[in-house]
Amino acid sequence: MTVATRTDHGRAAMLLPVLLLLALGYLGPLGMVAWTSLRRAGQTSLAAYAEILAQPVFLDIFLRTLTTAGIVTLFCTAIGYPFAYLVATRARSWAGLVMALVAMPYLTSILIRSYAWVAILGGGGLVNRALMALGLIEDPLRLVFNSFGSYVGMVQVLLPMMVLPLYAAMRRIDPTLLRAGASLGGGPASVFATVFLPLSMPGLAAGAALVFLSALGFYITPALLGAPGDYMLAQAIEVRVTTLAEFDVAAALSWMLFAMVAMLLLFLRRWIVPLGEEQPTARPSRVRAVASTAAIARLVQRAGDRLAPLAGPLLWIHGMLVLTFLLAPMVVVVLIAFSSAPYLTFPPPSYSWRWFVAFFRDTNWLQAGWFSLWVSTAAAVTTLAIGTPFAFALARGCFAGRRLLWLLAVSPMILPHIVIGLGLFFTFVALGLNGHPVSFWIAYVVTGLPYVVIVLVAALGRFDRDMERAATSLGAAPLTVFRTVTLPLLAASFATAFLFAFLSGFDDLIIGLFLSSPRGTTLAIRMWEDIRLEISPKTAVVGALQLAVLLVVLGARGLSGWVGQLRRQRTSS
């Protein structure tokens, strides 16, 4: 056998490192949160929960969190569905490029993107200036530091999470089905409603579930762009810990948030799991029946058939606007980085290198930068080292509970980081490790693991095992097979997994806020403090540098792949 598991023994050995890590860095900390929430004045009590339930303000916060997540999900659906439809059906030749652009915001952190929105939406920002220049308004509108700003920021951050699974589901729809529908007498709108829409439901469900669950635990964006008093749950928790030191209440709130998300996650897992490995299990047939029997639906469809010719141009305009919306923060960040102004303003009065110089002269920032860099690198290397055998065991083994293990390893991506951060904080304080680089290292291995598992399990699912068998039959021992065949063929997936694992640590703010100490401060925390105190363009410099480095790395890879393809096409034709 190759690297596959032959015995239960081998499988256990492959799963063990990740299970240990999850026990120490994830399940243990969650247990600590539960434990802390039940302790007051050295005794076990439900006082914290009672306090929460007794105060109307907490009810408000819960409701606000739920409605915000719901509204953000609705917006993401309304914006993302037509966009994914456009890319998957009408822009097939451009699809690769467009989807790369959609994924590009992931190259800058949520923190930096939210910061850019301040510049775009603020009183002296881009939008207000444009509107005033056009004479549409006299005084600047309040577009930020209220729920509008918060929605804009959250939708921008979460939109790719909606578009990516939707697009994947739509690409799986066989175009001949649509032609079959048309040949059976369906107009464009009715074919869409009776064939395309039902078949895209699994993607829509997955996207909506991911967006909603992620939005529930959002912290950075509402904290930066929302109204100061309009707390969401995560902010309420943070305030209880950092300013009020009400650990038991914070823990109880965290546990309630965690329980809510975890229950929804378990409930919705049928829709989410297909993303990673298996075929979609959400059944489209019922939806079709509903859509086709309702008389109203038929009327709407008939009207839709008339309007269908208009749909094309509208979709393209929509697509352009969505791409602008997704990419604007990054463009703005790069421009601000070159600002000559001593404070954040956009567009900048003129351009200079002054803030780059300032960044590279500031030892505080540089130290934080180095710390982030090497802690995240160490974590990403570790994640890959322990995540690879884990992914192999999951993808190749056939044992009870593998879907559950997959979900467990992937869940740190979806469950609120504020809860994980709080749990790690309690744990590391108890262990006397808080603020030590080791604490960051463990935390970032936990947050990076989902990406490694998702990417590798999916890649292994597509991998033709006969390649490994062929190598074996030619005389290669298991490790040689891995080195000479499996690894090179999956190199791109390993690189992707590494990159995402690295970024999950490097871009983290929330967990870092709990773990930071004079012994260890990350770059994200430096930026956070700077944004909160003075908002200088230094944060933009970090964003621009990060973007430049990643684009060079990815561009070089993409370019070499592209050139190789071109060369091959030449020689073969």
Number of residues that bind other proteins (CB under 8 A): 23
Q: Take residue 127 and report the two structure tokens written for it.
A: 């939008």
Supply the minimum distance, in Å, between the C-beta of residue 499 and other proteins: 20
- Cβ nearer to other proteins, comparing 312 with 488: 488
- Cβ nearer to other proteins, comparing 303 with 470: 470
Q: Take residue 195 and report the two structure tokens written for it.
A: 């064939």
- Cβ nearer to other proteins, comparing 135 with 475: 475
How far apart, in whole angstroms, are the C-alpha atoms of residue 307 and residue 303? 7
Supply the minimum distance, in Å, between the C-beta of residue 505 and other proteins: 30
Supply the minimum distance, in Å, between the C-beta of residue 173 and other proteins: 26
**What does R_g of the chain's alpha carbons equal in angstroms?**
25
Q: Pick from 93, 285, 350, 571: which binds other proteins (CB under 8 A)? A: 571
Give the footprint of other proteins on residues 392-451 (CB under 8 A): none
Torsion of CA 105, 509, 335, 560, to 10 degrees: -40
Give the footprint of other proteins on residues 140-169 (CB under 8 A): none
Supply the minimum distance, in Å, between the C-beta of residue 174 and other proteins: 22
- Cβ nearer to other proteins, comparing 50 with 479: 479
Task: Look at the chain and count its residues.
Answer: 573
DSSP three-state, residue 145: coil
Write the Ramachandran bin of 482: left for phi over 0, alpha for psi from -120 to 50, otherwise beta.
Answer: alpha
- Cβ nearer to other proteins, comparing 300 with 476: 476
What contacts 24+ positions apart, CB below 8 Å, involve 139-142?
none
Supply the minimum distance, in Å, between the C-beta of residue 553 and other proteins: 21
Contact 428/3 with Cβ under 8 angstroms? no
DSSP three-state, residue 352: coil
560 lines the binding site for other proteins (CB under 8 A): no
Give the footprint of other proteins on residues 489-548 (CB under 8 A): 489
Supply the minimum distance, in Å, between the C-beta of residue 390 and other proteins: 23
**C-beta neighbour count of 160 within 10 angstroms:** 22
Phi, psi angle pair for 3, to nearest 5°: -70, -10
- Cβ nearer to other proteins, comparing 404 with 477: 477
How far apart, in whole angstroms, are the C-alpha atoms of residue 144 and residue 150? 7
**CB crowding 249-272: b at 16 or more within 10 Å, else e:** bbbbbbbbbbebbbeebeebbbbb
Angle, in degrees to the nearest 10, between helices 247-276 and 47-54: 80
Supply the minimum distance, in Å, between the C-beta of residue 480 and other proteins: 7
Q: Take residue 541 and report the two structure tokens written for it.
A: 């410099």
- Cβ nearer to other proteins, comparing 262 with 476: 476
DSSP per-residue codes, 450-462: HHHHHHHHHHHHH
Supply the minimum distance, in Å, between the C-beta of residue 468 and other proteins: 9
Give the footprint of other proteins on residues 456-495 (CB under 8 A): 464, 466-467, 469-478, 480-481, 484-485, 488-489
- Cβ nearer to other proteins, comparing 1 with 137: 1
- Tell which residue, 429, 514, 433, 440, has the closest CA to residue 36: 429
Contact 180/263 with Cβ under 8 angstroms? no
Supply the minimum distance, in Å, between the C-beta of residue 63 and other proteins: 50
Residue linked to tokens 């190789």: 564
- Cβ nearer to other proteins, comparing 23 with 474: 474
- Cβ nearer to other proteins, comparing 44 with 571: 571
Supply the minimum distance, in Å, between the C-beta of residue 558 and other proteins: 18
- Tell which residue, 221, 238, 207, 210, has the closest CA to residue 110: 221
Q: Applying CB under 8 A, which residues contact other proteins?
A: 1, 464, 466-467, 469-478, 480-481, 484-485, 488-489, 568, 571-572
